[in-house]
Structure 1
Amino acid sequence: MRLRIFTEPQQGASHETLLAVAKATEDLGFDAFFRSDHFLKMGDVPGDPGPSDAWITLAALARETSRIRLGTLMTAATFRLPGPLAIAVAQVDRMSGGRVDFGVGTGWFEQEHTAYGIPFPSLNERFERLEEQLDVITGLWRTPEGKTFSYDGSYYTLADSPALPKPERPEGPPVLIGGTGAKRTPRLAARYADEYNVPFNGVDDTGAAFERVRAACREAGRTRPMVYSAAQVVCCGRDEAEIARRAEAIGRDVTELRGNGLAGTPAELLDKIGKFGEQGAECLYLQVLDLHDLDHLELLASEVLGKL
């Protein structure tokens, strides 16, 4: 089981804060540093100093780290045209020496689109656009050097693109697709994804979502392996007082977190991580909401990661 640190900087984080968390993630032995791709805070938090661009952030972190993987859960297909997005991700991948994982989804938070003038079409159209973006982005990355790439879709048209720059690997960075949709999500994951992620669901529901994707892979005749992962908000403490203090700092209830997240003592976390592993999860994304509490990361590293 690999553990990755997952941050939500739209809730309030400077680049200096994110850099400190990324460096701690690397120094403490975690597998990766991920961030959300959002332009508006959620809930009653200050949100200062305001939103930051996910791929600009990861480009900077690519030059400040050397081992950990870097990625998004998830870049919204509504935010960027697929051609420029393929360029940005490939460039960050080269800057990091091939350490990028590309998480992409439909986009869901209507208010952030309204706040920054981003069109927000229907769910059906967002799925259709996501599929075309996956066609375009992976097509650009995988076009052999010296060849051109063209595409004629319902939403995106490319003509004789030089398909540059290239990512570090010929097949491009690993693609992550997530969500719990019953039909379209499993089909897209089976066709395009290297990793399928279930965010913020219980153990049994996560296992059921994994099985839907396994069935879609069988139906599609897929032979290459799929990585199965889950994301959970994390709140760990050595005793009840420490757990309660950390829950209060992120505005959550301890009982609720124990039921709906990865919360409690290190022993409790290890037990629940084991249950996700029994469902087939190979990787867990620990959503760390208090980015100033680096002691939390140290505890997770020594008493959870160190004992897996």
Structure 2
Amino acid sequence: MITFGLALPHYDALFPDRTVTGARRTQAALDYARHAEERGFDQIWVSDHLGLELDTGQRRLSPDCWSLLAALATATDRVRLGSLVTNAPLRASALLARQVATVTDIAGARVDLGLGAGWNTREFAEVLGSMPPTNERLQAVEDSADTVRRHLGANAPPIWVGGKRRGILTVAGRKADGWNLAWDPTPETYHQRSRMLANTAREAGRVPSGIQHAIGLTTFLGADEGELRRRWKHLRRWVLGGHLDDADFDAWRQRGLIGTPEEVRNRISRWEEHGVSHIVCAFGIPFGICDDQQLSLFSETVLGRVSA
């Protein structure tokens, strides 16, 4: 059975209200996490960036990933909490182990540690002076996984590795409990990468079926065709930098989980048939949300869960 996670909105101005920034942004992230838990989502995922450059305007800042996860651990009771993904080369493995241990102290067994090799050259320049070579960044992912497991022992959380290139898939095959492919892969891309993952797992003496598979998908619903088109017009105005200005509606709706509730349920069924065990939903843009009603609409019409 597929479980569902929310790519939690937590960057400046990536909320329905563009004025939500700074401390208001962090509080809003906690509010959305509580709302997602109430609406029946299984997981909350937080990204790990110093900021996002999404348009020609101001850099979109974010709270620190693991500080936010600690706050989320106190703000929620049931939902799982994870990083998607922690930039392993930017965090000393022993320090990361203490951060993970602290969140685990609060949240118990609800924690998932997602790890990645990083890609944002500006972040590496700010923290390390320059981006390390690929082999060093991949080694940092392995070192982080080993260190967390060694320091936390039986309390170590499941470790997810995110990425699609051969190097990171090799690391996932050797070390990961779960693998995440984002964003909006086609079934063809998913199967190509999952075969690569399975091969590397076998080479490491592991059983590929023991590694969970997750994908990140743009999720956007309308109760019917007319409402979907109306919401699409709002999304086009909301998305930064005019990235959807030239998009064709019929082509756009073929990606992710976009459509009427029936269409979205059918796509979920197909992904489950492909072997996906978890879907990370991004309502408009990864780690942003353009429409407050999307969470409720998805919960009520797709998950079949209504809060008390």
TM-score (norm 1): 0.83
Aligned match of 1:195: 178
Residue 25 (str. 1) matches residue 26 (str. 2): no
Of 267, 271, 276, 2:266 maps to 271
> Are residues 264 and 130 of structure 1, via their aligned partners in 2, closer, same or farther at CA, if it must alter by over 3 Å?
same
> Are residues 291 and 31 of structure 1, via their aligned partners in 2, closer, same or farther at CA, if it must alter by over 3 Å?
same
TM superposition shift of 1:109? 0.8
Q: Distance in 2 between matches of 1:221 and 1:69?
A: 29
Structure 1: runs of 5+ lacking an equivalent: 143-169
Aligned match of 1:301: 299
SS of equivalent to 1:9 = coil
Residue 176 (str. 1) matches residue 177 (str. 2): no
Of 205, 213, 226, 2:189 maps to 205
After the TM superposition, which parts of structure 1 deviate over 3 Å for at least 4 consecutive aligned residues? 10-13, 45-49, 115-119, 251-257, 289-292
Identical amino acids, percent of aligned pairs:
28
> Which amino acid letter does the alignment assign opposite residue 123 of structure 1?
T
Worse-superposed segment, 226-235 or 242-251: 242-251
Q: Deviations over 1:66-102 (max 9, x none)?
A: 0000111100012210001001011101201221100
Q: Is the 8 A contact 2:5 2:45 kept in 1?
A: yes
> Which amino acid letter does the alignment assign opposite residue 220 of structure 2?
C
Aligned match of 1:9: 10
Q: Deviations over 1:165-213 (max 9, x none)?
A: xxxxx1510100121123x323221221111111111122112212222
Q: Distance in 2 between matches of 1:255 and 1:11?
A: 30
- After TM superposition, the structure 1 = structure 2 runs for residues 27-176 of structure 1, keeping only pairs within 5 Å, are 27-44=38-55, 50-115=61-126, 119-142=130-153, 170=154, 172-176=156-160
Q: Is the 8 A contact 2:94 2:147 kept in 1?
A: yes
> Are residues 211 and 287 of structure 1, via their aligned partners in 2, closer, same or farther at CA, if it must alter by over 3 Å?
same
Worse-superposed segment, 263-272 or 34-43: 263-272
> Are residues 109 and 132 of structure 1, via their aligned partners in 2, closer, same or farther at CA, if it must alter by over 3 Å?
same
TM superposition shift of 1:119? 4.2
Q: Distance in 2 between matches of 1:45 and 1:67?
A: 39
Using CA pairs under 8 Å that are at least 6 residues apart, name the structure with larger relative contact order, 1 or 2. 2
> Are residues 119 and 87 of structure 1, via their aligned partners in 2, closer, same or farther at CA, if it must alter by over 3 Å?
farther
TM superposition shift of 1:221? 2.4
TM-score (norm 2): 0.83
Aligned match of 1:221: 205
> Which amino acid letter does the alignment assign opposite residue 80 of structure 1?
R
> Are residues 99 and 247 of structure 1, via their aligned partners in 2, closer, same or farther at CA, if it must alter by over 3 Å?
farther
> Which amino acid letter does the alignment assign opposite residue 195 of structure 2?
E
> Are residues 134 and 118 of structure 1, via their aligned partners in 2, closer, same or farther at CA, if it must alter by over 3 Å?
farther
Residue 232 (str. 1) matches residue 232 (str. 2): no
Q: Distance in 2 between matches of 1:58 and 1:92?
A: 7
Q: Is the 8 A contact 2:5 2:43 kept in 1?
A: yes
Q: Distance in 1 between matches of 2:239 and 2:56?
A: 9
Q: Distance in 1 between matches of 2:82 and 2:129?
A: 22
Q: Is the 8 A contact 1:10 1:51 kept in 2?
A: yes
SS of equivalent to 2:73 = helix
Q: Is the 8 A contact 2:96 2:144 kept in 1?
A: no
Which protein is richer in helix relative to its size? 2
Q: Distance in 1 between matches of 2:11 and 2:83?
A: 13
Q: Distance in 1 between matches of 2:203 and 2:195?
A: 12
> Are residues 60 and 47 of structure 1, via their aligned partners in 2, closer, same or farther at CA, if it must alter by over 3 Å?
farther
> Which amino acid letter does the alignment assign opposite residue 231 of structure 2?
E
Cα RMSD (Å): 2.2
Q: Distance in 1 between matches of 2:282 and 2:26?
A: 18
> Are residues 113 and 256 of structure 1, via their aligned partners in 2, closer, same or farther at CA, if it must alter by over 3 Å?
farther
> Are residues 27 and 8 of structure 1, via their aligned partners in 2, closer, same or farther at CA, if it must alter by over 3 Å?
closer
